[in-house]
Amino acid sequence: MQEYIKTNIRESMEAKRQLLEDTSLIESIEQIAALCIAAYQNGNKILVCGNGGSASDAQQVSLSADIRWSVVGFRQLHLLRTLR
């Protein structure tokens, strides 16, 4: 069991290493973050949705954003989370 756990951790570390080396992906994330911040500052909404398992992912993303933004001093996002 310990070897299985270690293998999963190693695979996760390798995936993150590859992400860090992907400058195109990093630039895309930066652009998306800038758009989200601009929307937030202009009083707009950000809708995150999905179907099935993706709905769960969307809920997690919106909850994580809400928590992280409140920690750095942004006002609460007032996100609407629904499951279907």
Give residue-wise pLDDT tens across range 14-63: 999 999 999 999 999 999 889 988 888 888 878 888 888 888 888 887 77
Range of the domain at 58: 45-84
Residues 54 and 84 in one domain: yes
Co-location of 83 and 66 in the same domain: yes
Overall number of domains in the chain: 2
Q: From CA 31, how far away is CA 3, in angstroms rounded?
A: 39
The rounded distance, in Å, linking the Cα atoms of 32 and 8 is 29
Task: Report residue 7's pLDDT band, with 50, 70 and 90 as the boundaries.
Answer: very high
Residues 2, 28, single domain; the answer is: yes
Q: Tell me how far apart the alpha carbons of residues 62 and 47 are, in angstroms, rounded to a whole number.
A: 9
- Tell me the longest C-alpha to C-alpha distance in the chain: 50
pLDDT over threshold 70, residue 75: no
Do 19 and 34 have their domain in common? Answer: yes
